Structure 1
């Protein structure tokens, strides 16, 4: 018997969730009316499955707690105004998890099989629970046009590949660059407020927000008042194996009425110049790829034209991802600050040079504007800014795992 029922005329509608038990495992099956656009991932401490589904509706009955000894402890739901649904299945006593997508008749079924720990016996069997058919249009994270389709997600999980929920240690590493530092104070306000101090405060707060989320691990490019060159900042992020580099700055202008936040990403001109430089210098980071036994660069594929083509693809990828993340960040920043530019802009900033790490530079406001200077020195406002940066990163990576 199905546990929950869902009805909607929208595409890829979630029709039902069915939870059942066997002797050694527990199954969660979600049925869709059409091929869904979705993404899922596993987190631990506590163990849970996070599932984001595009365009869905839900009925009464969620959230739901299970006061028993089964593997599924509770089901939570989060909603937003974009008609997208996030389901969280918190688990207990689970060993390994298998996920597979199949097609039966007019339905597409996503099946999670959760292997029970051998130390835990079977204490609960599935029982039906029905709820009123009251439609509630869902909200959660916004899903961009680059969201994974079911086929892509299945490919990413290698079909029926077995994953250990208790051994998942991989996190998304975010390199946080507090602009300027040391003998380079950056912009200085009329009343002596220095850019290097504001950026370090907000960078530390962003790191705290990221590290409170089990999906992320924030690392600081600088964590004190010392100078680091822009080239070295990018290299530090690379050595720390970061998936994204976010550089935090404060703007300044002769026009003291200029105000608002903005986001900047790698420009085509900068990408072309860096491509030439790296080919000329035989990029050391690129040579690391050659040592990978599974790399395309193995064997005879090391001539200049192949290197140029691969580096060009890296720059295109880094530029596109940086732009998408910057868009998500601006969507969150506009709830805290006015925007100087409503969309990410392209620039030739030195910190946005790496083809291996998508990078973005955020100007959080104008220190030359008296009103924004006062806000930027306010601890509460700084915390709101740092949280909006975190939420932008979270909203992107929840649906686009690196």
Structure 2
């Protein structure tokens, strides 16, 4: 055979192999980032990949592992750089796949889990993603005490900055993330609250990380909080809607949450505290538990509605309101059993003008100030017993504004005070008083 022909065939074969390898390399996807977001009883792993690929997974025991096979994916990503604060995950590493072109990812686990995997199509902000949800079927029980919690002298406000981490919330026309706006306003409100003697703020999150909506009310329960305020920014499919709104829990959702709470409680006496000592019959015990909790949640809803009206009144001085009265909805974040809870939508981030406003620091500060003023007005008028503000209220002289038909002797009888003392403290000689006159009521 002619040497030139042989050489040509060899070169052609090499070129064909090179083209094949190049095409193979180009066809492979690669992992660009991995984020682990733990919450109370589950952990979410988000795997960012350069292009869409198929995957499969299976569980192994002894030791516990979740094995994920990604088709046509390289093995260049450094798992050691992934931040992991989950109690469910020991570490993530590589293993040998069935096919050399595939990648096998092994998630070493600390306990048995239920796994769910799904992929997400790319959008304007994220590329292809594979989401791995690890659910703990037997989470550690929450330790409860039958003793009544000690009353903190501060009025405790839990501030919940909506969304966070892998959940950006709504995204404005210019790319503004709701999670960043809500965190900024929340920190401003936290500062105002903590500067006021007698008030203390607790944040559900201080940074950009994910917390499940179902876990956020736990902060209020754990802190024995007096109020939970969840801050969000609304969005709609069209840019026209604008304005703020305030939401409270609908009665139907609250009742169902109560039912689930009672079912999760092994003994209803845990809900009754010392009252259970005098209740022997379990049916009677359950009846009392349901009655007490229904009364408690009705009171919380009433307080939530009252605070909401004050928030609307103050926010109206800063921005227009999309809803002029409090709205009710089935929102998980509002389900803390005994804590008044409201969700405040500070505006429509989908509206270009409101997105621009929300990116203005001074405007966010005005919104935070309006929320603070609402909280201040509510708790000055009705401070929880045992708090510093309640002590300050009780130390102030009682006042009474005279109405038609009232006399000094009648008021002395009503307030159970000495008539002479009532005259003396108000510098009154006889028994006549004027309608609209403000009287100081002396101590008994």
* Counterpart in the other structure of 2:321: 339
Instruction: Determine which of 309, 332, 355 is the counterpart of 1:350.
Output: 332
User: What does 1:113-128 align with in structure 2 at a 5 Å threshold?
Assistant: none
* Counterpart in the other structure of 1:155: none
Query: Are 1:226 and 2:206 matched, yes or no?
Result: no
Q: Distance in 2 between matches of 1:315 and 1:209?
A: 28
Query: Are 1:255 and 2:238 matched, yes or no?
Result: yes
Larger Rg: 2
Instruction: Determine which of 157, 173, 190 is the counterpart of 1:174.
Output: 157
Provide closer, same or farther for how the CA distance between residues 305 and 224 of structure 1 changes in structure 2, counting only shifts above 3 A: same
* Counterpart in the other structure of 1:300: 280
Provide closer, same or farther for how the CA distance between residues 235 and 379 of structure 1 changes in structure 2, counting only shifts above 3 A: same
Query: Are 1:326 and 2:308 matched, yes or no?
Result: yes
Query: Are 1:310 and 2:292 matched, yes or no?
Result: yes
* Counterpart in the other structure of 2:42: none
Q: Which runs of 5+ in 1 are unaligned?
A: 1-167
Contact (CA 8 Å) 1:248, 1:361: kept in 2 or not? yes
Instruction: Determine which of 206, 218, 228 is the counterpart of 1:245.
Output: 228
Give the structure, 1 or 2, with the largest relative contact order (CA under 8 Å, sep 6 or more): 1
Q: CA deviation at 1:271?
A: 1.1
Q: CA deviation at 1:269?
A: 1.4
* Counterpart in the other structure of 1:204: 187
SS at match of 1:397: helix
Task: Give the structure with the higher percent strand.
Answer: 1
Q: Distance in 1 between matches of 2:330 and 2:249?
A: 6
Contact (CA 8 Å) 1:221, 1:237: kept in 2 or not? no
SS at match of 2:216: helix
Provide closer, same or farther for how the CA distance between residues 331 and 298 of structure 1 changes in structure 2, counting only shifts above 3 A: farther
User: What does 1:34-183 align with in structure 2 at a 5 Å threshold?
Assistant: 170-183=153-166
Provide closer, same or farther for how the CA distance between residues 315 and 369 of structure 1 changes in structure 2, counting only shifts above 3 A: same
* Counterpart in the other structure of 1:380: 362
* Counterpart in the other structure of 2:115: none
SS at match of 2:381: coil
Contact (CA 8 Å) 2:315, 2:370: kept in 1 or not? yes
* Counterpart in the other structure of 2:391: none
Contact (CA 8 Å) 1:177, 1:245: kept in 2 or not? yes
Query: Are 1:188 and 2:171 matched, yes or no?
Result: yes
Instruction: Encode CA deviations 1:192-217: one digit per residue, 9 max, x unaligned.
Output: 10000000000000000001111210
Q: Which runs of 5+ in 2 are unaligned?
A: 1-150, 385-444
Instruction: Encode CA deviations 1:69-94: one digit per residue, 9 max, x unaligned.
Output: xxxxxxxxxxxxxxxxxxxxxxxxxx
Normalising by structure 1, what TM-score? 0.55
Instruction: Determine which of 341, 347, 351 is the counterpart of 1:369.
Output: 351
Contact (CA 8 Å) 2:269, 2:289: kept in 1 or not? no
Contact (CA 8 Å) 2:271, 2:289: kept in 1 or not? no
SS at match of 1:231: coil
Contact (CA 8 Å) 1:260, 1:340: kept in 2 or not? yes
* Counterpart in the other structure of 2:250: 267
Provide closer, same or farther for how the CA distance between residues 207 and 298 of structure 1 changes in structure 2, counting only shifts above 3 A: farther
Q: What is the CA RMSD across the aligned residues, in angstroms? A: 1.9
Query: Are 1:235 and 2:222 matched, yes or no?
Result: no
Instruction: Encode CA deviations 1:338-386: one digit per residue, 9 max, x unaligned.
Output: 0001111111111011221110000000000000000000000000000
Contact (CA 8 Å) 1:251, 1:368: kept in 2 or not? yes
Contact (CA 8 Å) 2:269, 2:276: kept in 1 or not? no
Q: Distance in 1 between matches of 2:175 and 2:266?
A: 41
Contact (CA 8 Å) 1:367, 1:373: kept in 2 or not? yes
Contact (CA 8 Å) 1:289, 1:297: kept in 2 or not? no
Q: Distance in 2 between matches of 1:237 and 1:263?
A: 19
Contact (CA 8 Å) 1:263, 1:330: kept in 2 or not? yes
